[in-house]
Chain A
Amino acid sequence: MESNFFDQAEFAENPEPRCPVVLVLDTSGSMAGKAIEELNEGLRAFGAAIKADRLASLRVEVAVVAFGGKVRAIDVRAPENREETNEVVLFNPMGLSIRPKPKEVAFDAHQAFVTADQFLPPVLDPSGETPLGEAVSRALALLRERKEIYKQNGLDYFRPWIFVITDGRPTDKKWEAVADQVRQEEARKGVVFYGVGVEGADMQVLSRFSDQRPPLKLKGLAFGELFTWLSKSLSAIAHSRPGEQAPLPPVGWGSVDTSH
């Protein structure tokens, strides 16, 4: 008889708390070739890994800001969640492959973020210079907006991440001011900043963005390992409870750069 009571107990429907991350990805000309291929493959692996963790796939929210020439927010929503538009098709100079241009989306926190279970990994194409400052500035703004959306809708959330991957040095002047902003935001505990440098990156520049942790140097093009680590780390945070220092997996894919 008692078990009938428990069977009758119905659970409240509550939205999951959110764990937002902005991936700020270098798509400048120097990333052409193997680097961008491995990055794109890493994004695909990231999507698959995070979807495999049910709770994380409902809690983690992803936005992608790509910077190469211009800074773009990439549409990472699965096709059924966006209007159909004509794909723009690009031929690369060698004429060897056709790669559709990744869809852009406005810098609007309503459109740029998607919960991980709906994440469509973009296929990024490289060109242009390296406006890192502008890209991180956009990421900060998106996160600020996203927090407002959470508050307006009564959603709980975890501390957001900005995760930067770059292979060069910034070509825009504003990066220093933006780095100051990031450090201040981290000091306020408003954000967690991770900087990853690929071969050729200016690690000193990256180190200016955070006092909390030094930038990491990617081993070769180990994007696959990097994104697996990222998926596990975000899952750990998505599962974490009050007072828990969510233990992050060891960084096998890179080394800590302490030279600056």
Chain B
Amino acid sequence: MTAATYTLPDQQTPAAEPAEQSHQAEIQAAPLWRVTGSAVPGTSHERLGTPCQDALGYRILGEETMPGGALLIALADGAGSARFSDQGALTAVEAALQSMQESLEREIPEDSEGWECLLVECFQTARLAVFQRADSDGEWSRDYASTLTCVILTGTLMAVGQIGDGAVVAVDDTGELFTATRLQRGEYANETHFLIEEDALDQAVIDVIDRPVNAVAVMSDGLIRLALKMPSQEPHAPFFRPLFGFINAVDDSEAAAGQLAAFLSSERVNERTDDDKSLVLAARVTPAVREPVNSGSEGEVSREAGPPLDQEGK
């Protein structure tokens, strides 16, 4: 059970922090986001005695970094039989968050291309960090293989990058529910791409969604068959609506992480998947609202609306 859990920059935990059991973001007086996350081992791992190989983390950057602040999320799924993939996943997540934060503190990108470059650099940095970790442990980098999914949300856009088979599902300012990633699959169900691969950066899929996002879910592939309709990868609204309802009602991020962990470990979920499961849920405290432009016109994407957002702004 691992995560890099981070508070606002001036209370940052050191990068070398050993794995923690809980997840929290301390919410200041005027929080911009409600966030929680949890990673739990799959039943197959309990059988084989391997640790949870998923890792996740998030950071909230305040107004001093950029107007409207920013939410950074990283999630990594360790390769099944790679001996140290749990450590590889954790290293990737920590390095990715650090890279995204430092990039934003240096300079805020002005256009989509700028955001894409920021994410490319984030993947490069994370990849290098994993290699360095393997090196200093005296092991092969392939034993630290993991996927990596990175998300940045600002007041006006969402930037998403992925190597591997996680998923990012979001609700925008018109209430539309959509999947922001494409799963990377080989021909076979048990094939995907990993960060340590030579051509990983060529395989990275990076996208900038140029409108405000009010809620987001980031997950590893253990949950995908429960959460998305395959093969189209459309979000299954009856899965997300209650979960976004949950995050909208969260006061105490740490308690919320525990409740989320209990859900992910429940029998109901384990009947459908024996894989590790990890999920980050986030909702903007004060959602942006915009009327959809093409309301009622033909070919309209079905507006699977998110839950009514809590306007009380605690």
Contact = CB atoms under 8 A, between A and B. Distances in A.
Interface stretch (B170-178, B235-243, B286-294): B235-243
Interface string A1-23: 11101111111101101000000
B94 interface: no
B231 interface: yes
B263 A242 contact: no
B221 A242 contact: yes
Contacts of A173: none
Given A5-B246, A10-B239, A14-B225, A242 B230 contact: no
B305 interface: no
B79 A12 contact: no
A243 B185 CA distance: 11
Nearest to A16: B225
Contacts of A10: 236, 238-239
B145 interface: yes
Contact of A240 (B80, B147, B164, B228): B80
A2 B38 CA distance: 15
Contacts of A17: 189
Contact of B238 (A7, A9, A157): A9
Contacts of A243: 78-82, 85, 145, 190, 192, 194
Nearest to A245: B81
Interface in B234-274: 236, 238-239, 241-243, 245-246, 249, 256, 259, 262-263, 266, 268, 272, 274
A12 B228 contact: yes
Contacts of B188: 156-159
A223 to B, nearest CB: 28
B227 interface: yes
Contacts of B185: 156
B239 A2 contact: no
A97 to B, nearest CB: 43
Contacts of B246: 2, 5-6
Given A6-B259, A156-B230, A242 B249 contact: no
A239 interface: yes
Say what secondary structure dominates the interface of chain A. Answer: loop
B191 interface: yes
Contact of B231 (A2, A154, A239): A154
A84 interface: no
A55 interface: yes
A10 B239 CA distance: 5
Contact of B192 (A157, A240, A242): A242
B229 interface: yes
A235 B291 CA distance: 50
Contact of A3 (B164, B194, B259, B268): B259
Given A11-B226, A12-B229, A241 B239 contact: no
Most buried by B among A6, A154, A247: A6
Contacts of B243: 5-6, 9
A241 B275 contact: yes
B85 A12 contact: no
A156 B185 CA distance: 9
Nearest to B192: A242
Interface size class of A (residues with CB under 8 A): 20 to 34
A3 B246 CA distance: 9
Nearest to A12: B236
B226 A12 contact: yes
A80 interface: no
Interface residues of B, number: 47
B44 interface: yes
A31 B243 CA distance: 60
A237 B239 CA distance: 28
A244 B80 contact: yes
A156 B299 CA distance: 28
Contacts of A240: 80, 190
Given A1-B249, A11-B236, A243-B82, A6 B263 contact: yes
A189 B188 CA distance: 10
Given A6-B246, A12-B226, A239 B44 contact: yes
Contacts of B165: 242
A245 B80 CA distance: 8
A2 B243 CA distance: 9
A9 B190 contact: no
Contacts of A246: 190
Contact of A242 (B191, B226, B232, B272): B191
A247 to B, nearest CB: 7
Interface string A237-260: 101111111110000000000000
Most buried by A among B165, B189, B274: B189
Most buried by B among A9, A154, A243: A243
Contacts of A241: 44, 80, 190, 221, 275
12 contacts: A2-B256, A5-B242, A5-B243, A6-B263, A9-B239, A12-B229, A14-B225, A14-B228, A155-B231, A237-B190, A242-B165, A244-B79
List the 9 closest pairs (A to B, CB-CB), nearest first: A243-B79, A244-B80, A154-B231, A12-B236, A10-B238, A17-B189, A5-B246, A8-B242, A156-B189
